[in-house]
Amino acid sequence: MPYIPHSEKDIKEMLDTIGIESIDDLFDEIPKAIRAQGLDQVPTALSEMELGQLMSERAQLDDHNLCFIGAGAYEHHIPAAVWDITMRGEYLTAYTPYQAEASQGTLQTIYEFQSNIANLTGLYAANASLYDGASGVAEAVLMAIRGNRKAKTRKVLVAGTIHPRYRQVVHTIVESQNIEIIELPYNQQSGIMDPAILSDYEDDTYAALIIQHPNFFGNLEAVDVMTDWAHANNCLAVAVANPLSLSVLKPVSEWGENGVDIAVGDGQPLGVPMASGGPYYGYMACTQKLIRQMPGRIIGKTVDLDGKTGYTLTLQAREQHIRRAKATSNICTNQGLAVTASTIHMALMGAEGLTRVASASMKNTQKLVDLLTQIDDVELVFNSARFHEAVISLPVNAAAVLQALADNNILGGFNLNEHYPELGDAILICATEMRTERDIQKYHQTLQQILSVSEQA
């Protein structure tokens, strides 16, 4: 939609109406000493033609590459109908429902999305989404602090196998709110949390225990034991889960004896393409007991006086509506377009379709691991049960190998050295249903050639 700026005449009429000389006068209360003194790092403006050429060049950087990275962003097949429908004008231009009665289409879409997430997780209700999976985990921390009346401290236990970027975002968001995040070490042989380590944390009370399953390494955690430990110690259990994995793994509501209290994750695997880093969105679901602590909005389905189906904002405890400073969150949003695509994607795929995608991805990753570990000195790091990601170690510098693979149009994995230096030259690999037998063979042959040249050097 083109942006049409105000003319100089329009601006002058508005300024005259409010009785000031210039737009700068609107900001005269801000001391000059703290105002920005120019934006020196902003590049020179481009023409429409130049900007179009630049964006085309950037887009081409994503083309013609075989992606084996994973690490929170997954290349899955998206049926053509998903975005053909999503990009229709009535979906594309729909905005957040401030006037709920006039937004029945948007409300119905959100209702269907929330119903699907509640079905996947098995929990009582889901909200109308968050910015992304990382901020979703931070929101779960804040929610646990508010909702756990039995906790005597503002401390939260976070598994060290949670996505490192998620953990960084959690620290950034909650560190100024007098909340202490305690990261738990993982077992370097299994690549999962050892539940026995939790016995070291029974002398204090914690607001929540946060577990990712499948974890960042792709391994499956001992979620039943850890969930039961959390509840036995007056601690809320929070699940971070790839929503696609919930089509083949048991729902988070069945972890342990009573299930988790809160579930969050990134919705990107459900019909949202890898578009140079976004936009993504986060999902959140919880038990009935915690529903009033959940940020965002919840859509309900009802009937009017004539018996016609209608949708309504049932709960909207966010700052832009009624709560202001008392809102449960001031960063929550409905990532409407991405959520719309996910809703259509889930409707088209159905439970059987999602299960087939998850199963095919698991099989492809196993094929990839089996083939790559036939190469001398390439080894599988963890032998735990896993979903569709795995960690392998390389005999030479991982960064150099990944660059060499990239030079051959293969995005070969995620270098773990920055976040898990104890693993040495290890990379996280993933093969979704999009990777063919030919793709997997090409990765194997190319990696074999790279390592052979490295040995000769």
- Tens of pLDDT along the chain (457 residues) come to 455 678 889 999 999 999 999 988 998 899 988 888 888 888 888 999 999 999 999 888 877 899 999 999 999 999 999 999 999 988 887 766 666 677 888 889 999 999 999 999 999 999 988 889 999 999 999 999 999 988 889 999 999 999 999 999 999 999 888 999 999 999 999 999 999 999 999 977 899 999 999 999 999 999 999 999 999 999 999 999 999 999 999 999 999 999 999 999 999 999 999 887 778 999 999 999 999 898 878 889 999 899 999 998 887 755 555 566 667 776 656 678 899 999 999 999 999 999 999 999 999 999 999 999 999 999 999 999 999 999 999 999 999 999 999 999 999 999 999 999 999 999 999 999 999 999 999 999 999 999 998 776 6
d(CA 363, CA 163): 23
- What's the token pair of residue 100? 């709920």
C-alpha angle with apex 196: 190 to 423, nearest 5 degrees? Answer: 30
Please state the domain extents for the chain: 66-73+350-456, 80-345
Q: 66-73+350-456 is classed in which CATH architecture? A: Alpha-Beta Complex (3.90)
For the record, the structure tokens of 306 come out as: 């004539």
Q: Tell me which fold the domain 80-345 belongs to.
A: Aspartate Aminotransferase; domain 2 (3.40.640)
Helix or strand or coil: residue 91? helix
CB atoms within 10 A of CB 64: 7
66-73+350-456 and 80-345 agree in CATH topology: no
The residue to which tokens 């060290």 are assigned: 160
- Contacts (Cβ under 8 Å, ≥6 apart) of 426: 381, 391, 392, 393, 394, 398, 416, 417, 420
Q: What is the DSSP string of 54-81?
A: HHHHHHHTTTT-EE--BTTB------HH
Q: Are 156 and 182 within 8 A, CB to CB? A: yes
